[in-house]
Each structure stands twice: as structure tokens, then as C-alpha cells.
Chain A
Amino acid sequence: MSEAVHHDPLIALVGNPNSGKTALFNALTGARQKVANYPGVTVEKKIGHVMTPAGRRAAVVDLPGTYSLRARSPDEEVTRDFVLGRLAGEAPPDVIVCVADATNLRLMLRLLLELKQVGRPVVLALNMYDIAQRQGIRIDIEGMSRELGIPIVTTVAVRKRGLAEVLGEVDRLVGAEAADVKWREPSAEEIRAAHRDAVRIHKLYVKPPLRPDTWTGRLDAALLHPVGGTLILLVILFLMFQAVFSWATPAMDLIGAGFTWTGNLLMQVMPPGLLRSFLVDGLISGVGSVVVFLPQILTLFFFIILLEDLGYMARAAFLMDKMMGAAGLHGRAFIPLLSSFACAIPGIMAARVIDNRRDRFATILAAPLTTCSARIPVYTLIISAFIPNREVWGFANLQGLVMFGLYATGILGALTVATVIRRIFWRGASEPFLIELPAYKVPDPKNILRGLVQRGEIFLRRAGTIILSMMILVWFLSSFPAAPAAAAGPAINYSLAGILGHAIAPVLAPIGFSWQMTLALIPGLAAREVAVGVLGTVYAISDAGHGATLASTLAGHWSLASALSFLAWYIFAPQCASTLGVVKRETNSWKWPAIMFCYMITLAYIASFATYHIAAALGAG
């Protein structure tokens, strides 16, 4: 294709994991990026736009990190097929930018040799070049460029250095003759040969560091210490949960007060009637009680992104591998499971890093049991209504402790389910645990902020679309048909919601659920946190209890045993249609979400039944 490129040139970023590929992508595209999915697969597609020095508008794609084009997971398949131009619905890249950690070139050079066989123009970006310079690594860029036959530029993505140079090379290479694809899956001997070649090039053009990074070794001595390291990991996890509770509170109070104020204002300025009821009881009370949990979700993601960028996640996987292995899972399953603490949906999608199908499916099936952030609103509400806020043992907060217990039960549940699957249904067959422990890096605040904004947007979009429509549906169900004029008791008893709640109630009565609780579960299927909004709506409408907080309303209506039973239900129940949907997509079959739904609802019923009856027997009924 010697003719000029008429479409916007397409740049593909390829590199090892931890090469700073995503940092370079962020530096190049800034806010002009979006996250979508590749058609047919669920691998996240990050695409952005950039202006080259020659004035071309180029599209940049951040491909999943890989050590080789020999794909071992769906993510790596996307990378391979994309660079080979084989991915359905995607144009082949005009230029491949191979992003390398300048302090860690050896493995990347072998990948680069593979990329050269693809036949498309390649630029090598030596990223984190400032760190390489600080360590005194001397790289003969000219010599290496001549040897490899490709242009090399140096970049410092987090400082936005070298971006124009990368794009300048892209300008020069766009429209260059694309050679034939010579790449095919290499044999072990070919990998050995390529590695020898890479080592030879590395020896010739890269002089070892004068001042090697000693921090990583020193930190690892503590963080990977068999006893100390494990304790530090537990402290970090404990701190995460406490932070989610205490740090987020002021912001939550502020948001909560804002929504209450708006509701009260509307109550004053608007005449009573259907519209006011809709705005105050449907819209504001529903969305408000969901948005109020944004601070907690952001706090949790702050920790997850921070630990990821720090390079600690791989260490956590190292420390947890044996425990995960005991449950028949791969050490890498720790990362999807940890992500599931924020939300099972990214967690289930993150399970794609596990190559083996059975390991992956076992992780997916277990993931929804870890406590996702959508459960936090439910947990917080019930805990604040029923568990006294006082100190125990001089340092811990009783409410925080109960929360910790709920998390622990979720983790144990997930591990038990995984064990049962891997040890009983699918015995044997585990995947090698083989991960790089990257050098520790000081996280880039901008990157953390970008990640937080992205997560916040995703949460708010859910709150704004699914949840809002659910809230309006619930308001409708709770308001129509209107109660007869001579009605006794709350109007909601006569509504569609009341009829529905009453219909299902007998099934859930043995586990201590009232019809209001049952009613909250139905729209709660759209998203777990919706249950809080529904309870708000149901009780706000039935009691007109404005001013009183929902928690104190619940404390007046529910027994402690029912409340604990409700918590137990939320640990296990498949209360999230989106999770089932994403499992269907990830496993490409309705069989797995069906299995997941059945096992979860069975566990939930048993757990709630036991909790309710034990608590009632102990006098909490």
C-alpha cells in the first residue's frame, strides 16, 4: 500500500505489562479518550485521538500488555489480532508504537523482534527514560536503532516528555510500505533463538546501571517478608475498609444534606400533588440515596488504583498465591477478586488475565461473593440503623468491625465456592503462576485522578440511567393505583408494589423478611444499591416520614434478627442483573449465569434462614 493514507492514521501501543504504556496513552490523548469494547469480545478497548506535528488527526489504541504475540488469554489475543490486522471490524494499525520500560529492556526486545515480523512500521518508545538516566543506564540509542532498523525515541510519559518525537516518527512512517506478515507462532527453539538475539542486542547497546534501583529490593525485603509482608497486606486491607467508612463520611453527610435540602425546598415551593410526589419521593430521594455513596466508592478505587500503580498488586498476588492455590485458584485470581470489592463487573472482566478456562470460570463464579461497593449502601444503612456506634477494645469501631465481618464472610464464601468448584467439580488442572514483580514506582497523581474520574463517571452513569429508571418505575409501582378514599393503613399497601411484595412475602417470611424488604429486593436486582433507594421510597411514602432518617425509620420497623438476616441475604444473593449479564458475555453462554443465580440464591436463603433463627433464638427477634 504505497499510496498515501487517506483515513486518519491508526497508532497501536504495544508493550509488556508495567511498561508505562497506559501512562503514554494518557499523556498522548489527554481527555480525548473513551473506553469501549471490541466487538464480539469483552476486552476493554481504549481509544483516543491526537494531533501529530504534521497536523494529522491520528487515532491511538492502547492494547492489552503482553510478553509475546503468542496469545495466551483473550486480552493477548486482541493484541495479536489487532497488530496483525485480523481483528474483525478493526483496521490494521498504520504504525505500531512499542512502549518499553527503559530500565527493563531485555524481555521487551524479544517482543520487539516479534513485532517486526508483523510487517508494519514500528517505533520503539523508551519510556521512563528519566529513571533509566537516574540509574545510570547508558543506552546507545543510535546503535540500537541501526541494529533493529527502526526509529527509537525516548519518553517520560508522566512528564509528557518525548511525545512530539513519538508523533514525529509516526508522521514519517505513515504511508510507509507495509511488508508481508512474516509472523507465525514461534516454537520453543525459535523463542530461544530470538531471546539469544535480544540478549546479544541488549549486551551490545545497553550498559548496566551505575546506580541500580535498590529501593525495590529494600521494600520487597519488608513487603514480601513471610510474616511481616503478610501482616502489612492485612493492615493495608483493614485500613482500606476503615477508610471507606471514616474518610468518606464528611463528604457523604454533605451530599445527603444537599439532597434533603433540595427535597425540602421543593416541598415548600410546590403545591402537593403527583408532580411533587414524583420529584421528591421518586427522583430526589431515589437518586440522592444512591449518589451519596460516591465518596465511598471513590475511596475504595483510590486504594485499588494506588496499589496497582505502586507495583504492589503483583506482590499481593505473590503473598496470596498459596491461599488462592489452596482454594484451587490461580494467584492472579487475587486481582479479579480484589477488584470485585469495588464491583464484580470489572472483577469478572479482569478474570480474563487468567489463561486457563476452568481457573477463569471458577474465579468468575466466586467473584460476586466478594463484597462489592454496591453492597456498601445496603450494609451501611442496616449497620447504622441497628449496630451501636461505639468503640470496642479501645481502638476499633463496632460498626466498622461488623462491616469487616461482612467482608470476611464474603471472602470466605468466595474461597469456599471456588474450592468446591475446583476440588470437586473440576479436579486438578491448574495454571502456572508466572508473573513479573515490577519495580516500585511513585504513582502519578494525575493517573490516579483520571482513574477515579473514570470510575466515578461509570458509577454515576449507572446511577443516572439504570438506577434512575428503576427508581421511577418503583415510584410508579408504589403510587399506582392510588388507595381508595376510605383506605386504612398506608397507601402503598394498595399499590402494585404492595401487591407484588405481598405475593412474594410468604416465600421469604421464614427468613424474617417483611413485605417491604421483599419489595426492595425486586428492583434491587437492577443494582444492589437500588434496594436502599427503594426502602427510602417505600418508607418515605408509607409514613410520610420526612425529616427522620431512613436508618431510624428502619430501626423502628425491623427487628434486629430481620436486619441481620437481610445482611446475610446481601452477602450471598444474586442481587445484580448486570453481574449475570456480564457473566453471560464473558462465558458466552447462559449456562454459567444460570448456575451462578441458582447457587447464590440457595446460599442466600440458607444463610438468611440460619441467621434469622439463630438471632431470634438469642432474643433478637
Chain B
Amino acid sequence: MRELFASLTDGDGALPAGAALSGAFVTDEPHTRLGAMRRGAKGVIVGIAARPGRAHVIDAHELERRLLEMGFVEGAHVEILHEGPIGRDPIAVKLDDTRIALRRDDANAIIIAAGKGAQAE
């Protein structure tokens, strides 16, 4: 599944609507990446798809584990609370009942089903 996400998230911007994702948290809502969301946007995490490369030394697998440990887990609700003063980066995210700050580049590893439908429990 990770490979599938990786292939879906190679480009920038939102994923195609109704992208074929398997798993418990798939909805009909369009999928996007947390790093592409603006202040006030809400959604539910449907997958973690850390991509190798980019600016990191830690590998994609390590980034995935760190995100999981901070609570970025499939099914968790997110809302963008704040954007950093320069380039709207980093972002402060309400993640269930915690607030986590992270950079958009890392947030791009988190796949979100955005919109109203995703709000339903």
C-alpha cells in the first residue's frame, strides 16, 4: 500500500478525486496531502506515504514511524490551526486532541481525505 501512495504522491498538489486507495478509511472525498492544506482545512488521515529522497537524511520508513509515534495514524482527525509567518510554513495541526507543529515538506507524507464527508465518525 505504501508503494501505491508513493506513486500517487509523486507530483505536487492534490491527488485525483476518488483515487483508488484500499483500506478502512477510504471515502469518496478527494484525497490530498496534509502539506498542501491551508489554514482551517479539516480532514481524516487515510494513509502515511513517506517518500524517500527529498531533503531528509532519515529514510522514508523512519519518517513514517516518527509520524506514527506523534499520533499521525490512519483514522485520526486533523485540522490546520496555524501557518508559519514565512511561506506559511511550518504548520500547526490539531491532531485529535493534541497540537503538533511540523513542516509542510514532512506533512506531505500524510494523505488526507478532506471535506465534510471525512468528518463523519
Given the known inter-chain contacts A220-B81, A356-B57, A431-B58, please indicate yes or no for A191 contacting B98, CB distance below 8 A. Answer: no
Q: How far does the alpha carbon of A229 sit from the alpha carbon of B67 in the complex, in Å?
A: 26
The interface-forming segment of B9-17, B101-109, B112-120 is B101-109
Residues of A within 8 A of B102 (CB): 432-435
Question: CB-CB < 8 A to A323: which residues of B?
Answer: 86
Q: Closest B-chain residue to A16, C-beta based?
A: B98
Which secondary structure dominates where chain B touches chain A?
mixed
CB pair A429–B96 under 8 Å, yes or no, is no
| Set of chain B residues within 8 Å of A196, measured between Cβ atoms | 73
Instruction: Check if B106 sits within 8 Å of A434, measured CB to CB.
Output: yes
Question: Is A507 located at the chain interface by the 8 A CB criterion?
Answer: no
Supposing A192-B68, A322-B86 touch, asked if A435 and B73 sit within 8 A by C-beta, the answer is: no
Decide: B98 and A107 in contact? CB cutoff 8 A: yes
Q: Which residues of B have CB within 8 Å of A94?
A: none
Judging by beta carbons under 8 Å apart, are A226 and B106 in contact? no
Q: From B68, B73, B90, give the contact of A433 (CB < 8 A).
A: B90
**Chain A, residue nearest B99 (CB):** A437
| B91 to A, closest residue via Cβ | A318
Q: How far is the CB of A88 from the nearest CB of chain B, in Å?
A: 26
Contact pattern, B 56-88, Cβ under 8 Å of A = 1, otherwise 0: 111001011111111101110000011111111
Assess whether B36 is interfacial by the CB under 8 Å rule. Answer: no
A104–B71 Cα distance when bound, in Å, is 12
Inter-subunit contact B74/A192 (CB<8 Å): yes
A107, A318, A358: the one within 8 Å of B90 (CB) = A318
A229–B92 touching, CB < 8 Å: no
Q: Please tell me if A74 contacts chain B, counting CB pairs below 8 Å.
A: no
Q: Once the chains are docked, how many angstroms separate the CA of A358 from the CA of B58? A: 12
Q: CB distance B70 to A191 under 8 Å? A: no
Q: Is A459 an interface residue (CB 8 A)?
A: no
Determine if A436 and B98 form an interchain contact, defined as CB atoms under 8 angstroms apart. yes
The one of B57, B82, B90, B96 in contact with A331, judged by C-beta atoms closer than 8 angstroms, is B90
- Smallest Cβ-Cβ distance to B67: which chain A residue: A434
Determine how close the nearest CB of chain A comes to the CB of B12; give it in whole angstroms. 19
In the complex, the answer to whether B97 meets A191 with C-beta atoms within 8 Å is no
Q: Are B73 and A192 in contact (CB under 8 A)?
A: yes
**What's the tally of chain B residues with a CB closer than 8 Å to chain A?**
38
Decide yes or no whether B29 CB sits under 8 A from chain A. no
**Nearest-Cβ distance from residue A108 to partner chain B, whole angstroms:** 10
CB distance B106 to A191 under 8 Å?
no
Q: Does the CB pair B58–A437 fall under 8 Å? A: no
Decide if A309 is an interface residue (CB 8 Å cutoff): no
**CA of A621 to CA of B93, assembled, Å:** 56
CB <8 Å contact, A106 and B65? no
Instruction: Say if the beta carbon of A188 comes within 8 Å of chain B.
Output: yes
Please, how many angstroms separate the alpha-carbon atoms of A325 and B102 in the complex? 12
- Within the complex, which residue of B66, B86, B87, B97 is in contact with A432, where a contact is CB–CB below 8 Å? B66
Cβ-defined contact, B57 with A434, below 8 A: no
Q: Please, how many angstroms separate the alpha-carbon atoms of A229 and B92 in the complex?
A: 13
Question: Contact at B64–A430, with CB atoms within 8 Å?
Answer: no
Q: Does B4 contact A (CB under 8 A)?
A: no
Cross-chain contact A429 with B55 (CB below 8 angstroms):
yes
B83: which A residues are within 8 A, CB to CB?
226
Q: Is B41 close to A, CB under 8 A?
A: no
Known contacts A318-B101, A430-B55, A220 near B73 by CB under 8 Å? no
The docked-state distance in angstroms from the alpha carbon of A187 to that of B67 is 13
Q: Does A319 contact B (CB under 8 A)?
A: yes
Give the residue name and chain of the B residue nearest to A68 (CB).
Answer: B69
Residue-by-residue, is A307-324 near B (CB-CB < 8 Å gives 1, otherwise 0)? 000000010011101110
CB atoms of A67 and B70 under 8 A apart: yes
**Residue A89 interfacial (CB < 8 Å):** no
Chain A residues near B98: list those with CB within 8 A. Answer: 104, 106-107, 436
The answer on a CB contact under 8 Å between B84 and A319 is: yes
Given A220-B92, A432-B102, A434-B70, CB of A321 within 8 Å of CB of B58: no
Contacts of A403-444 to chain B: CB distance below 8 A? 428-438
- B84 and A226 within 8 A (CB): yes
Task: Annotate A63-98 by CB proximity to B: 1 below 8 A, 0 otherwise.
Answer: 000011010100000000000000000000000000
Collect the chain B residues with CB atoms within 8 Å of residue A104's CB: 97-98
CA A437 to CA B92, docked complex, whole Å: 8
B71: chain A residues within 8 A (beta carbon):
106-107, 195
User: In the complex the two chains form, what is the Cα distance from A192 to B68 in whole Å?
Assistant: 7
Q: From B58, B63, B68, give the contact of A356 (CB < 8 A).
A: B58
- B101 contacts A432, CB within 8 Å? no
Q: A429 vs B53: C-alpha distance in the bound complex, in angstroms?
A: 10
- Nearest opposing residue in chain B for A208, CB measure: B97
A173 touches B (CB below 8 Å): no
- How distant is A205 from chain B, measured CB to nearest CB, in Å? 15
Kindly state whether residue A469 has any CB partner on chain B within 8 Å. Answer: no
Residues of A within 8 A of B85 (CB): 226-227, 229-230, 319, 322
With A191-B68, A195-B71 as contacts: A318 and B103 at CB distance below 8 Å: no
Q: Judging by beta carbons under 8 Å apart, are B63 and A432 in contact?
A: yes
Output the residue of A188, A199, A321, A326 with the most chain B CB within 10 A. Answer: A188
Q: Are B73 and A195 in contact (CB under 8 A)?
A: yes
Contacts of A68 in B (CB 8 A): 69
B90 (CB) vs chain A CBs: closest residue = A321
* Cβ B100 vs Cβ A434 within 8 A: yes
Does A164 interact with chain B (Cβ within 8 Å)?
no
CB neighbours of A433 from chain B (8 A): 90, 101-103, 106
- How far, in whole Å, are A104 and B92 apart by their CA atoms in the complex? 17
How far is it, in angstroms, between the C-alpha of A438 and the C-alpha of B97 when the chains are bound?
11
A528 interface hit (Cβ, 8 Å): no
Known: A229-B85, A430-B57. 4 other contacts (CB 8 A): A68-B69, A224-B82, A322-B90, A432-B102
21 A-B pairs with CB atoms under 8 Å apart are A188-B68, A196-B73, A208-B97, A317-B101, A318-B82, A318-B84, A322-B85, A325-B103, A331-B90, A428-B57, A429-B55, A429-B57, A431-B57, A432-B56, A432-B106, A433-B101, A433-B103, A434-B106, A436-B98, A436-B100, A437-B99
A-B interface, 8 closest residue pairs, ranked by CB to CB distance from nearest: A322-B86, A437-B99, A429-B57, A226-B85, A224-B82, A191-B68, A432-B106, A318-B101
